[in-house]
Structure 1
């Protein structure tokens, strides 16, 4: 499908040009939906990173080894598969906006409760329940915006939504740096979780200002198959579902390995202070933000599959380079943080548009929620394996395991069609 600009008919949304043409082309209702989805995903990211950033303090407080520490992340991601699948069904049955509000309230509530956990077992349960909301928010928000976006701009529009992850991550690092500077570590990690109440403000905005895309909502309500698990495994969609799960597993296995263990790696094997770790992560996060936006643009230009394959190869190369810097070369470690963040984030930019385009409207929420979050659940075992391998390999050596995930992602692309230019309604 051509993406060449044409003069719009009277009453038709224009194919806007310029750096922010994709945002203007959404129209007023689409831009409000974009704001709700962007804010939801940023705060989803913030609530997720309260754990990895406080992991060293939590492990010391409860006397945990690396395996049990890694399990806190794994259980979050495993349960997120259930949350993502349920949220997808809800999005197809009760609408995108109502499902979005439910996911945001869920992850905010259980993040706050994590701060009150009296022991490791309770923390594990609360963190698992946080995964129910965490798993569903991205899929629902991405579909909401995808159904407003034009085919020509959908990749960069959803790439901008993905960039919210870096915004939330950066906010978490800033709060972490301040909280751990002024409070005792035994109290600081609890305060980090309590700040996870912020998303409650977003729900008020979404409830008052955001609505589902009208044409997609009408088409969804008219279908008998909406919100059906069996539908995404029927002939014609089963192959797509299986390979989409493999793709998601590979990319997220690599990503969550790094997101979970890089802070610990910088602290335990590089001996950086809290402020030093924040400084190193600043380069990683800024690279991630630019990577999301660049990847969104490239997924419209190169196509969904080529964009993912390109950045899978580059991400694997960055991991190998990042974890094999000789001791004492911390300046080089800092420099490589930017391309690492850029590559491992740019690969996600095409996911929102790609997965949405693989499924018909009636089961789009179910298909996207199931494939993305089942892949997240299986990929969640990567951080746990790194935790157990860290005892003999060291955290830096074990991180190389994450590179294998990107190889799996490239193989999975062979079973999926290219969807660039596909209309959703």
Structure 2
């Protein structure tokens, strides 16, 4: 059945990208604006793990201190995400998205001019504020623009942009480190991170504030009842906020422990060159991209909980095989695909899931805090991996912390009711 025939018949299209055909022009512009923002956000974040080995060698940085830059970025993103979520509820989703993109673009450019590790640490920390805020604003904006039966696929497909951004960063690494000496190439990597600023002009011209958000803020203004930043910790919201925050810590900690240190693991314990590791990372990224798209589809087909449980269990199994099994290089290369698939695919359901836990007037604050509290706790994992790697192998250190985080996420998936198909306007 063709797209036109499906729309004419009124039969819902449950295919992975079926939601796109049902979108209006304004919804499609929102989709592409959010997808581009998340893609470039992913590129900006992944630049540091890719140049980590170079900076360690050039500036003789201790591994635990090198991990601190990743941790400080994520800690700052936790603050930025909560603040941006609150701004979403006060000034709107689209203005907040514009501010956050401009912010992290500017500080990525400043990273390129760092003269020592301390300067880079400051610039990366400040970058984290905008980095955390962009996800909060973009995810809420997308969730409110699409109908309930499409929310998982639409928001999850936007989330797949992270894998594309990761791929762009790896491609930049391969090109720049092939053409330039390492002491120059890493600077150009960070300079490229300023490109997202161009997206602000598109957002200003073509992306509209969701009607749901506008109506909510009008009601608040008329009643003089602006949401307080602490409201998500009161009454029935307290349990939701606490459990969702810890659950997000498991999701974020597992990912950041792995993604920050696997590039270094490949060059040290697998003895690959920086350029030679590109193919291994490419397989991991392709798996990640497939995982995001599959997870987005399954979030609507199976529901949020089944997605979380299935993918986190698969992530633990593949992580153990990748880092602990005595496999030849070819097998490690092939195993990168399922590792990327399972370790990131569940993120496609997180944005829709969190948006369904809070009413419209608190959605920004609640979603922004929970997701980014997870980032804040997850921020500690790269540093802890670096510290543990001083007394054991890097592979063991990654396994300990990433594995524990996956188990935490898996367990707390059972603490919430299934929210698939919830109408946000009916929720508050």
Match of 2:347 in 1: 348
Is residue 87 from structure 1 mapped to residue 84 from structure 2 by the alignment?
Answer: yes
Match of 2:278 in 1: 278
Q: How far did residue 142 of structure 1 move?
A: 0.9
What CA RMSD, in Å, does the superposition of the two structures yield over aligned residues?
Answer: 1.8
Match of 2:391 in 1: 392
> How many residues were matched structurally?
417
Q: How far did residue 367 of structure 1 move?
A: 0.6
Q: TM-score, normalised by structure 1?
A: 0.95
Is residue 232 from structure 1 mapped to residue 232 from structure 2 by the alignment?
Answer: yes
Q: How far did residue 120 of structure 1 move?
A: 1.3
Q: Which digits, 9 at most, give the CA deviation of each residue in 1:344-396, with x for residues without a partner?
A: 11110101100000010011011111000011110111111110111221111
Q: Which digits, 9 at most, give the CA deviation of each residue in 1:6-59, with x for residues without a partner?
A: 9889xxx99556553201223111111111100000000011011000001111
Is residue 166 from structure 1 mapped to residue 163 from structure 2 by the alignment?
Answer: yes
Q: For 2:226 and 2:421, how far apart are their aligned partners in 1?
A: 24
Q: For 2:228 and 2:306, how far apart are their aligned partners in 1?
A: 30
Q: How far did residue 295 of structure 1 move?
A: 0.5
Match of 1:125 in 2: 122
Q: How far did residue 271 of structure 1 move?
A: 1.1
1:60 to 51, 57, 61: 57
Runs of at least 5 residues in structure 2 that lack an aligned partner in the other structure: none
* Closer/same/farther in 2, CA of residues 145 and 244 from structure 1, 3 Å limit: same
1:31 to 28, 33, 49: 28
Q: Which digits, 9 at most, give the CA deviation of each residue in 1:163-197, with x for residues without a partner?
A: 00001000000001111111111111111101111
Runs of 4+ in 1 over 4 A off after TM superposition: 5-9, 13-19, 224-227
Match of 1:151 in 2: 148
Q: For 2:236 and 2:368, how far apart are their aligned partners in 1?
A: 18
Q: How far did residue 269 of structure 1 move?
A: 1.1
Match of 2:100 in 1: 103
Q: For 1:7 and 1:63, how far apart are their aligned partners in 2?
A: 60
Contact 1:240 1:415 in 2 (8 A): no
Contact 2:139 2:155 in 1 (8 A): yes
Q: For 1:228 and 1:413, how far apart are their aligned partners in 2?
A: 28
* Closer/same/farther in 2, CA of residues 42 and 225 from structure 1, 3 Å limit: farther
Q: TM-score, normalised by structure 2?
A: 0.94
Q: For 1:350 and 1:394, how far apart are their aligned partners in 2?
A: 33
Match of 1:373 in 2: 372
Report which stretch shifted further, 146-155 or 214-223: 214-223
Contact 2:101 2:197 in 1 (8 A): yes
What SS is found at the alignment partner of 2:145?
A: coil
Is residue 50 from structure 1 mapped to residue 50 from structure 2 by the alignment?
Answer: no
Q: For 2:23 and 2:227, how far apart are their aligned partners in 1?
A: 26
For residues 273-312 of structure 1, the aligned pairs below 5 Å read 273-312=273-312
Q: How far did residue 61 of structure 1 move?
A: 1.8
Match of 1:134 in 2: 131
Runs of at least 5 residues in structure 1 that lack an aligned partner in the other structure: none
Q: For 1:62 and 1:14, how far apart are their aligned partners in 2?
A: 60
Contact 1:80 1:131 in 2 (8 A): yes
Is residue 321 from structure 1 mapped to residue 318 from structure 2 by the alignment?
Answer: no
Q: Which digits, 9 at most, give the CA deviation of each residue in 1:43-102, with x for residues without a partner?
A: 000110110000011111221111001001000001100000011011111111100000
